Amino acid sequence: MDNEELPQILEGKGPRKSPARDEDNRTPFLSAFSKYDGFEALHQVAEWYLDIPKSLAGLWLNLDNLPEILACAKQWSLGQGPIYTHDLDEIFHHLGRWIEIVQAERQSPELQKIYLLSKVERRWGPEAGDGEASNKKRVLKSIGPPFWGIEEEHPVWMTLWYRSATPPTEAIYTVRDQVYRGLQGLYLSSYMRLRRSQEEAQSKYFYGSDLYARLRDSGRLLRKIHSIEHGFLLERLSTHCFAYNKPNAMHQVFSDIHANPEELFRQEFAGFADVVNFGYVLRHPSEFAKKLVDTFSLPGDRKKIPQKKLTDSRIYEDHHLFWIAQGFPAIASKRKSNTRPHIEWIGPEVDTVATLFEEGAHPGEYLEAEEIFFEPDDFLDPASTDGGPRELPPLNTLYAAARARYRMEIMRAQSFRNRLDRARVPLFVRVIGVLQNLYSQSLMDASDQAKALLNETVKLCAVALFTGHSLKEATSLHCFTSIEELPSEWRIAYSDQYRVWLRPYPVPDRNKNARIIFSDSVAVSPRIAFSDIWSVGQLLPKTRNKKWFTQTEAVYKKVFITQIAPALIEAGVDEDWVGVDSIGELLPSWFEGLEEGELLRNCALFGRSSPQSEVQSHYAALDRAVLDDYYCKIMRNLWKQIQVATPDDKKLLKDGSLVKPLFSLSKNTAQIPNSLTGNDWAPKVEGIKTLLEMLRAQIADHDQQEPHHYHNLVVAYTGIALSIVTAFRNANTPILDLGLIDQETGFLHMEEKDRDNGSHARLVWIPDDVRACVSAYLNHLKRLWVTLSFQTSPELKVPATKNRDIRIYGTKSFALSLQSSLFLFEEVGGIWQPKEFSGRRLQALLDSLKLGSWPIPNNGRHFLATTLFNEKQKSFATVIKTVMGHWQLGESPWGPDSAMDPYYLREALKSPFEKLLGKEGIDFQVIDF
């Protein structure tokens, strides 16, 4: 096939594949029990009452937990109060029999072939150990359930997988374990009763109902509180959880938790209360439906606005303070095994997270560090000369030292961090030189099996280095000629026909109805592509299989340890970089050090993930052609710096052919089409251009005798422009006073992200055309208030819901001037009334003009992030983070210790904004309203 076909090949669409959801293992599973009469009927009972998916994912771990959970469920099923007439004893008997039969055949060959029965998701730590690389071992950090893709459809089965995470060595383990099993039993018992009720009533409306949504909420709660940091909740529930004959009492406990604004997981507990209520026919009103009313207070009041505390959370490796608090002025490196410092976060309420997603916002953007916990040793007095115990200094000294330490860390977080052990050019020269020499040696005798294996292992190392994978991950490299040939689970693939590498890049996990919201205008690919710019793929052997490397990991690892690692050490490569995992960290380390904060593109290219990159990926879709251009430019520049000596072209193989270099710079790149990947909520330029054309036409044709509707059209036009260039969030009156735009510099102070200390106030630059539009809008307001009836006030009394407003006005409500701000008119009872402007009201107005033209309240924010990240010439992550307001504690570009230059920011934004607003962009035109 020609290279021109590559755009069509890469455009293969389809949802992200999930073995737990897509595989159907019932037939091979049932065939293993053919000798048991009536087993198929037993299994149908188990599927109905245990919520078992057709893939049977996680069966063995669930089966280990089920006897204890069923025992508790049976005790709850005998509780007092109204119960269904059909006794559940028979069902419990059938389930017990099913467990007994399945356990008896657990080791059968037929069941061993079904890998999903025992599969768990493993997360490994870095290599640890002393001595040579062969003595180092990777530590298993955590395991997770194999249930991705069935969270919505099988919440009960997922919840049966868990047990209390408190270690058995802890004194409180027994109580927590029993309470957790009791809650699982109550959950399963309620579900079984609901299923029995549905069966008797022959109802078809259980799935998709509000009650089923509460089942999902309850399951999510149990999956959260199993962790050790939430063990205190299990202890609190221990006084009630053993009262098996009083489900009504448990319902009351859950309701009390829901009513307390200081509690964690309030809405999930409300969902659990409703599940118990309907399962046991307690006939209480729905607890989940009750509106949460939180108290409001001014600064200085005793009460605080209650917020969810994510206690014992962690700072992850992409945050400045992760390395600074450990003494490393460095960025993320997977080879460090230091303990992460504790941090306490303030985040959005649980019940507001869904609202944030609907608005197009990401909850991770709203986490704020409240407290940082450093090691106590940092504040202890030095050890005495006689070796006595270290003592704490006086309390006032402790306070002063802690405050000074905090200020020092915040100051240091503003500095550019170049990790001292970051991969640098001399390191690449040594590593590539060693691999090239070994590759040349392996070609001396092609008939020697040992040489052939060395040759294959060196190529594997080249793939690992080039793609940023460990040797183990690189062995799973797949070859493809079309997307349909790739398996359901894959991490990296290469096509020798098109000389292109592929990597999965799924859309963010959020609203499953995105396709419905955005209709067919959403077109993103679930993978990225990058060129074989260093010609690594050209030397891969021809294969008819779907994998390039067919030996086991152990075989390649042995060759690496015995032949490649010693050669690397002899060449002067630091031992930290000599390892089966470390070789894949070379290129990511180089990319990370080029610009601070460049997380989104680097994580996408090398298959990495971090909390901040997940937030960025929520807003920005990446153009695959532009991303490949970004990648190739860096790789070409690195190649020029490396200046690897070309192997002696006179060195001959036995058959007389010339030795080819292992790495060589390719003159041509793959023809990757301009197409988006990642964020499927990214607006298209054509859609916004059409919307602005429609508004201009309606404004020009509108009868100004009807000023209210005409004003709304003017606000929509101005609001779209401001939402794009400022990336304001969905907040009431994001800009208090449009007259505060500095006409000389174009800067405007914004603080629509609410923080009591103003830590997320930001400076935005308004381009000339948009400033001219704002001036036209302010002149329109002057004419409007002359036209309107004297009964309409040019001020609107609104509640001071943001700390910004409270600091400015000092009251719980204030008069918003309608002569210098964006606002909309709404018709209420036949009377036009002014309302505060917000992203959601803008969305509703534009929907009334053209349905779906502005799909989410944060549409402009998504559009700007996508546009800036896909700018071909000058796209800097630091600038984008500054514009978007994406920073955490100590990272603000506008803090007192920051070196960000606002005039540099303006110069960096001029060219992208000119393209965005010009003919090749949305074609924004200034109108004299």
Question: How confident is the model at residue 227, as a pLDDT?
Answer: 79
Model confidence band, residue 207 (pLDDT cutoffs 50, 70, 90) = low
Question: How confident is the model at residue 329, as a pLDDT?
Answer: 34
* Residue 396 scores a pLDDT above 70: no
List of residues 6+ apart from 322 with CB closer than 8 A: 315, 316, 332, 340, 341
Q: Please give the mean pLDDT across all residues of the chain.
A: 78
Model confidence band, residue 81 (pLDDT cutoffs 50, 70, 90) = very low
Model confidence band, residue 201 (pLDDT cutoffs 50, 70, 90) = low
* Residue 395 scores a pLDDT above 50: yes
* Residue 718 scores a pLDDT above 90: yes
Question: How confident is the model at residue 894, as a pLDDT?
Answer: 82
What integer is the mean pLDDT of 336-364? Answer: 61
Phi, psi of 503 (to 5 degrees): -140, 140
- Most confident range (mean pLDDT) of 159-168, 249-258, 437-446, 551-560 is 551-560
Give the containing element (helix H, strand E) for 605: helix 600-606
Q: Give the Cβ contact number of residue 446 at 10 Å.
A: 13
Question: How confident is the model at residue 341, as a pLDDT?
Answer: 45
> Locate tokens 């409007």: which residue?
784
pTM comes to 0.62
Write out the DSSP string of 236-256. Answer: HHHHHHT-TT-HHHHHHHHHH
For residue 908, count CB atoms less than 10 angstroms from its CB and return exposed for 0-12, middle for 13-18, buried for 19 or more. Answer: buried
* CA dist., res. 677 & res. 693, Å (int): 27
**Nearest-5° angle of CA 614, CA 616, CA 619?**
115
CA-wise closest residue to 863 among 466, 521, 449: 521
Question: How confident is the model at residue 488, as a pLDDT?
Answer: 79
Question: How confident is the model at residue 868, as a pLDDT?
Answer: 92
CB 439 within 8 A of CB 662: yes
What integer is the mean pLDDT of 205-229? Answer: 80
Please name the amino acid found at residue 523. Answer: A
* Residue 723 scores a pLDDT above 90: yes
| 740-754 confidence digits (pLDDT tens) | 999 899 999 988 887
Q: Evaluate the CA torsion angle 388, 390, 394, 400 in order and state its sign.
A: positive
Model confidence band, residue 563 (pLDDT cutoffs 50, 70, 90) = very high
Give the containing element (helix H, strand E) for 563: none
Q: What order of strands is seen across the sheet that includes strand 500-504?
A: 478-479, 493-495, 500-504, 527-531
Phi, psi of 16 (to 5 degrees): -60, 130
* CA dist., res. 399 & res. 404, Å (int): 9
* Residue 386 scores a pLDDT above 90: no
Give the containing element (helix H, strand E) for 368: strand 368-373
* CA dist., res. 102 & res. 229, Å (int): 35
* Residue 230 scores a pLDDT above 60: yes
* CA dist., res. 421 & res. 582, Å (int): 12
| 529-545 confidence digits (pLDDT tens) | 999 999 888 888 776 66
Question: How confident is the model at residue 694, as a pLDDT?
Answer: 94
- Most confident range (mean pLDDT) of 137-146, 627-636, 678-687 is 627-636
- 896 in helix, strand or coil? coil
- Most confident range (mean pLDDT) of 322-331, 333-342, 549-558 is 549-558
Model confidence band, residue 805 (pLDDT cutoffs 50, 70, 90) = confident
The number of angstroms, rounded, from the C-alpha of 361 to the middle of its chain's C-alpha atoms is 12
What integer is the mean pLDDT of 513-531? Answer: 63
- Which residues are paired to 124 by β-bridges? 140
* Residue 699 scores a pLDDT above 70: yes
* CA dist., res. 788 & res. 330, Å (int): 61
- Identify the weakest region by mean pLDDT among 234-238, 306-310, 457-461, 465-469: 306-310
DSSP class of residue 86 equals S
Alpha-carbon Rg of the chain, whole angstroms? 31
- 827 in helix, strand or coil? strand
Q: Give the Cβ contact number of residue 15 at 10 Å.
A: 12
| 351-369 confidence digits (pLDDT tens) | 676 677 766 777 677 666 6
Distances (CA, A) of 830 to 736, 826, 904: 28, 10, 51
* CA dist., res. 514 & res. 275, Å (int): 28
Model confidence band, residue 917 (pLDDT cutoffs 50, 70, 90) = very high
- Most confident range (mean pLDDT) of 312-321, 502-511, 588-597 is 588-597
- Beta strands 795-799 and 342-347 are unpaired
CB 877 within 8 A of CB 598: yes
CA-wise closest residue to 102 among 85, 119, 114: 114
- 801 in helix, strand or coil? coil
Model confidence band, residue 420 (pLDDT cutoffs 50, 70, 90) = low
- Which residues are paired to 824 by β-bridges? 835
- Identify the weakest region by mean pLDDT among 45-49, 532-536, 756-760, 810-814: 756-760
Model confidence band, residue 301 (pLDDT cutoffs 50, 70, 90) = very low
List of residues 6+ apart from 755 with CB closer than 8 A: 368, 803
CA-wise closest residue to 499 among 540, 471, 464, 465: 540
